[in-house]
Amino acid sequence: MDVIKAITGRRSIRQYKGDPIEDGDLAEVLEAVRWAPSWANTQSWEIIIVKDPEAKRKLAGTLPAGNPACSSFNEAPVVIVACARRGKAGYFKGAAVTDKGDWYMFDVALAMQNLTLAAYARGLGTVLVGFFDAKKVAHLLNIPEDVAVVAMTPLGYPGREAKPTPRKALHDFVSYDTFGCR
Ligand SMILES: Cc1cc2nc3c(=O)[nH]c(=O)nc-3n(C[C@H](O)[C@H](O)[C@H](O)COP(=O)(O)O)c2cc1C
């Protein structure tokens, strides 16, 4: 699939069929993570594939009740938990080298963007989920202290097409030469 078509066509999917994911499709989606850019190629991400229905149910329980992605964790055959090793991205000889500190959020975001686009190209749905109790997830999945839980997504075949979502126009956020020159 053309990359622009994937970028513009992908939508967050919150309803899923329970059908299992073809092994080749899952491998390809994970391969897309592998090729994401990262700070000094540190590749600080850690990905956990959760298929066990009981574990997925418990992960769904870490989302607040109002989170619209709640039920999708039980519906989809797989939940992906994206984590990162702390103190790698943005660090040189153990010290943070920019005013941003640890860049793991950035690296994991790029990895997950690759994942969501590769999934879409294979007919699979995703919805990035950031609003959940990361401490509970870390406890449930035995994630060590030096690994941050960043985001999750269900992964599976869409149960329903998602509605298009609005976007700002370019002139609302693009400046030329100096900030604010639209
Ligand atoms: C960092 C991040 C966190 C998000 N967290 C949630 C979430 O907790 N629950 C949810 O239903 N959607 C979540 N989303 C999905 C956004 O709501 C969605 O991407 C946005 O509304 C645009 O819709 P689209 O993805 O269909 O284009 C999150 C997206 C991002 C990038």
Q: What is the C-alpha separation between 112 and 85, in angstroms, rounded? A: 15
Does 109 fall in a domain? yes
Over the chain, what is the mean pLDDT? 97
Does 19 fall in a domain? yes
Q: Does the pTM exceed 0.85? A: yes
How far does the centroid of ligand 1 lie from the alpha carbon of residue 86, in Å? 24
Q: Tell me the residue length of the chain.
A: 182
What does the pLDDT read at residue 161?
Answer: 86
Does 163 fall in a domain? yes
Does 29 fall in a domain? yes
Tens digits of per-residue pLDDT, 62-101? Answer: 999 999 999 999 999 999 999 999 999 999 999 999 999 9
Which residue range forms the structural domain that includes residue 55?
A: 3-172
Torsion angle of the four alpha carbons 28, 29, 33, 37, in this order, in degrees rounded to the nearest 10: 80
How far does the centroid of ligand 1 lie from the alpha carbon of residue 80, in Å? 15
Residues 6 or more apart whose Cβ sits within 8 Å of residue 172: none
The protein residue with its alpha carbon nearest to ligand 1, atom 3, reads: 130
Does 178 fall in a domain? no
Q: What total number of domains does the chain contain?
A: 1
CATH number of the domain bearing residue 102? 3.40.109.10
**How far from 49 is each of 19, 21, 81, 103, 157, CA to CA, in Å?**
16, 12, 7, 23, 16
> In a 3-state reduction of DSSP, which class is residue 63?
coil
What does the pLDDT read at residue 137?
Answer: 98
Q: Is the pLDDT of residue 120 over 90?
A: yes
Q: Is the pLDDT of residue 34 over 90?
A: yes
Q: What is the C-alpha separation between 178 and 182, in angstroms, rounded? A: 9
How far does the centroid of ligand 1 lie from the alpha carbon of residue 128, in Å? 5
Tokens 């990895």 sit on residue? 111
CA of 164, closest atom in ligand 1 = 26
> In a 3-state reduction of DSSP, which class is residue 153?
strand
> Ligand 1 site: residues with CB under 6 angstroms?
11-12, 67-69, 127-131, 162, 165
Q: Is the pLDDT of residue 54 over 90?
A: yes
